[in-house]
Chains A and B, each alone.
Chain A
Amino acid sequence: MKVFWAELSRDLLLAYRRKGDLLNPLLFFVMVLALFPLGVSPAPDFLSQLAPGVLWVAALLAALLSLDNLFKSDFEDGTLEQLLLSSESTYPIALAKALVHWLTTGLPLALLAPLLAVMLFLPSHAIPTLVVSLLIGTPTLSLIGAIASALTVGLKKGGVLISLLVIPLYIPVLIFGASAVQNATQHLPVQAYLAILGSMLALSIVLAPFAIAASLRVSVSS
């Protein structure tokens, strides 16, 4: 537990010192969403139908974009090697890393989402569901994404490869997240979707850190 908090506070401090990196996924999220009215149609009716899916896809891509840097700097300056060599368990370290990724991308995205939802004419009664579904769904994205990030950290050109590895694994989260918002727009119950998103989160909290730690070991040993 001590390791977890130490790693968490260290990474948060590092993230705070590099404020530019914090902003990039958010800007990406906003810009991608601005493309849809321009590319498809600015008609409010049409956009409000499109909004649940588009908001979720854009959030997913924004989370994907920032994965590349998750372990990169620690890998390059040798911190990662020291972390893995230490006698502490790697599980809390991996969990803390993924959590920091979520705190710096998923959480701000979820908080920013209502503004963009209004711009895309999502019915206002669906906005709470959108925020909640993003809050529950994006940590899963961070945890799964961290596995791919850990696998590719030793490679020179990991960027596109991460997307290839991760997108198929993101599909269930996308389906249930977007369906929850879709149902909310039609005043249908959403608890089941949120519960499934929650169970996927629980499963990935339990399992993903092991895969992350194993992948980091492979990457560091090579």
Chain B
Amino acid sequence: MVKKQFMPKWFYQLASPKWCYQISGTLLPYFLITALVLLTAGLVWGFAFAPQDYQQGNSFRIIYIHVPSAILAQSIYLTMAIAGGIGIIWKMKVADMVAYACAPIGASMAFIALLTGAIWGKPTWGSWWVWDARLTSMLILLFLYFGVMALYSAMEKPETAARSVAILALVGLVNIPIIKYSVDWWNTLHQPATFTLTEKPAMPVEMWLPLLVMVIGFYCFFASALMLRLRNEILNREKRAGWVKQLVSGQ
């Protein structure tokens, strides 16, 4: 019987830790350089050249860190859950490792988003923390990351840990929209207009272009951080494999 292949060939190649190690080694420098260039350019552009906000003055510039990290925190959770799902369905070791590598990066992104949100909140809303719907759902996302990381560290065998975490991540993925909408609803009910961050005018091009650069830069940074952690994890888990021994002793 011919085995049916539902996915393109590269997908199956990804299952090989060795191939994955090599391809990520080739791709890594490109992503790293792109990330560095985009982040530097975006930061300089956003902090020094983008025009001031007519209401918030210079304090709005933290948006160039806040928004990308918030976007990343969410997409990393998605990546983690999808990688976990692939790990469950196709029993792919590399997908498990990707999910494992995602969690701390995502947690730090969520933390950065909360921290910059707090710093931004002080001049804008007059307090470090506001039970705003977005802040609250980001906080809950951070809790979800902590749960995933705690479950990882509680389990000894990496294979079972990976499958448990994948289930948890998928359950969390179903829950994220529910949490998001319930928090939105809760907030509009309980605090109709504590702070009136009036409807922002659509950002002018000079403002959102550096933001776009920063977002792409953050994605590239995430990709490079993920690959670095992944390569580390592959070497760690495959240390009994011949090619790893060869690689380590060869250097």
Contact = CB atoms under 8 A, between A and B. Distances in A.
Interface stretch (B15-23, B35-43, B68-76, B165-173): B165-173
Interface of A: 144, 147-148, 151-152, 154-155, 157-158, 161, 164-165, 167-169, 171-172, 175-176, 179, 200, 207, 211, 214-215, 218-219, 221-222
Given A211-B170, A215-B164, A218-B160, A167 B143 contact: yes
- How would you classify the secondary structure of chain A's contact residues: helix, strand, loop or mixed? helix
A161 B151 contact: yes
Given A171-B179, A172-B179, A147 B185 contact: no
Given A147-B167, A161-B150, A218-B164, A168 B183 contact: no
A151 B143 contact: no
A123 B185 CA distance: 24
Given A152-B154, A218-B160, A221-B160, A168 B179 contact: yes
20 contacts: A147-B167, A151-B151, A161-B151, A161-B154, A164-B146, A165-B147, A167-B143, A168-B143, A168-B175, A169-B175, A171-B182, A171-B183, A172-B179, A175-B185, A207-B174, A214-B88, A218-B160, A218-B163, A221-B160, A222-B157
Q: In the complex, which of the residues B88, B160, B175, B183 has the most CB atoms of chain A within 10 Å of its own CB atom?
A: B175
A164 B150 contact: yes
Given A155-B155, A218-B160, A218-B164, A172 B182 contact: yes
B150 A171 contact: no
A149 to B, nearest CB: 12
Contacts of A176: 182
B248 to A, nearest CB: 29
Contact of A219 (B140, B164, B183): B164
B186 interface: yes
A155 B140 CA distance: 25
Contact of A168 (B140, B154, B160, B189): B140
Given A161-B151, A165-B150, A169-B172, A175 B186 contact: yes
A179 B186 contact: yes
B95 interface: no
B164 A171 contact: no
Contacts of B186: 175, 179
Given A161-B150, A161-B154, A179-B186, A172 B160 contact: no
B220 interface: no
A218 B151 contact: no
Given A147-B167, A207-B174, A211-B167, A175 B182 contact: yes
Contacts of A214: 88, 167
Nearest to B189: A179
B144 interface: yes
A172 B178 CA distance: 7
B182 A168 contact: no
Q: What are the 8 closest A-B residue pairs judged by CB atoms, nearest first?
A: A222-B160, A172-B182, A168-B143, A165-B147, A175-B186, A218-B163, A175-B182, A164-B147
Nearest to B174: A207
Interface string B131-166: 000000000100110110011001101001001100
A105 B139 CA distance: 29
A72 to B, nearest CB: 15
A151 B182 contact: no
